[in-house]
Amino acid sequence: MRELLEAMQPHVPGMDWYVEGSTPGDQSGIYANARLIGEQLGMTRFVPLSEGLACFVAWARTLSA
């Protein structure tokens, strides 16, 4: 979660967050393999997280304009 929040922060000025610790049931070390979704959707290229977040934020800002 920390990595995701750090990646989002440059795209959301004034964003403030903190990590307080874990709670019962939290999981760590979870990874995904995008091979299956790529095969199902016919996708061969994916964008880096920072680029995808920038596109998402730009799109979201059009909704509130």
- What is the tens place of the pLDDT at every residue in 16-65? 888 888 888 888 877 888 888 888 999 888 889 889 999 998 999 899 76
For residue 54, tell me if it sits in a domain.
yes
Per-residue tokens: 47: 């964008």
For residue 12, tell me if it sits in a domain.
yes
Structural domains of the chain, count: 1
For residue 24, tell me if it sits in a domain.
no
pTM above 0.75, yes or no: no
For residue 40, tell me if it sits in a domain.
yes
- 57 is in which domain, residue-wise? 2-18+30-63
Give dist(CA 42, CA 15) in Å, integer. Answer: 35
For position 65, what pLDDT does the model report? 62
